[in-house]
Structure 1
């Protein structure tokens, strides 16, 4: 048997979810800026590496969209849980809160996947630097 959920438990997630959504938005804005710069670079120099980077960034933008969607869903259900507990619908509130936790876990897992993809993008740049270094050493 578990203890009954009260209003303070879902309320504890509010600051964490809000900060997470802000971090996700900052990542999105940073990627949008990079994409605009790469687009301009590709118009002047049609380097295939730029296309690889843009493809990777497109995937990352989609991942960030899902991170935000899942995070907002988590916040919405967390708020609903608080309302349901406040109005006396304890079991429904517990269910909503449980689903909000699952959505937050999914959001964090998607964030981890996006982080792996960002390191892939950096490896594209590093491969260029390594190739340039080998050419200079020869």
Structure 2
């Protein structure tokens, strides 16, 4: 039987995840603004590609946040259902809340992978430039 404290245990975890997602969003927004300013001064296809990658990552973060908020909302609904004496409905809603959180975490992993791939491309450019300098 699901108790009132079980969904309540997720509150701190969900809150911290949403804070982390918001921080990622703000960091990406800052990077996009800087790249936009760079593009205005010196248009480059590489900057356009970077902005495109960042646009996809922003969309993922939006979905991560939406699913996280949905999970928190359903946790509250599950608690309400437990409190009002609807335990089977509460279990179903809480299970759905957990699925939303799993989906949010999966998208977070995908966004992290995209971020790592973008950094590896930049690092490969640096390594190639360093090799070029060493050959001179």
* TM-score, normalised relative to structure 1: 0.95
Number of residue equivalences: 135
User: Are 1:82 and 2:76 an aligned pair?
Assistant: no
Structure 1 residue 43 corresponds to structure 2 residue 40: yes
Q: CA RMSD in A?
A: 0.8
| Contact 1:77–1:97, Cα closer than 8 Å, also in 2 | yes
Counterpart contact for 1:10–1:97, Cα < 8 Å? yes
How many angstroms does 1:119 deviate by?
A: 0.7
Cα-to-partner distance string for 1:53-96 (whole Å, 9 max, x where unaligned): 11110000000000000000000000000000000011111110
1:8 corresponds to 2:5: yes
| Aligned residue number for residue 123 of structure 2 | 126
Q: Where has structure 1 moved over 6 Å in runs of 4 or more? A: none
Q: Alignment partner for residue 28 of structure 2, among 28, 31, 38?
A: 31
Do the aligned residues in 2 keep the contact of 1:53 with 1:124 (CA within 8 Å)? no
Gaps of 5+ in 2: none
Provide the TM-score with structure 2 as the length reference.
Answer: 0.96
Alpha-carbon distance between aligned partners in 2 of 1:29 and 1:99, rounded to the nearest angstrom: 29
The 1-side partners of 2:69 and 2:25 are apart by 15
> Does the 8 Å CA contact 1:28/1:64 hold for their aligned counterparts?
yes
- Show CA shifts across 1:7-61 (max 9, x none): 0000000000000000000000000000000011111122222122111100000
Q: CA–CA distance in 1 between the matches of 2:62 and 2:82?
A: 30
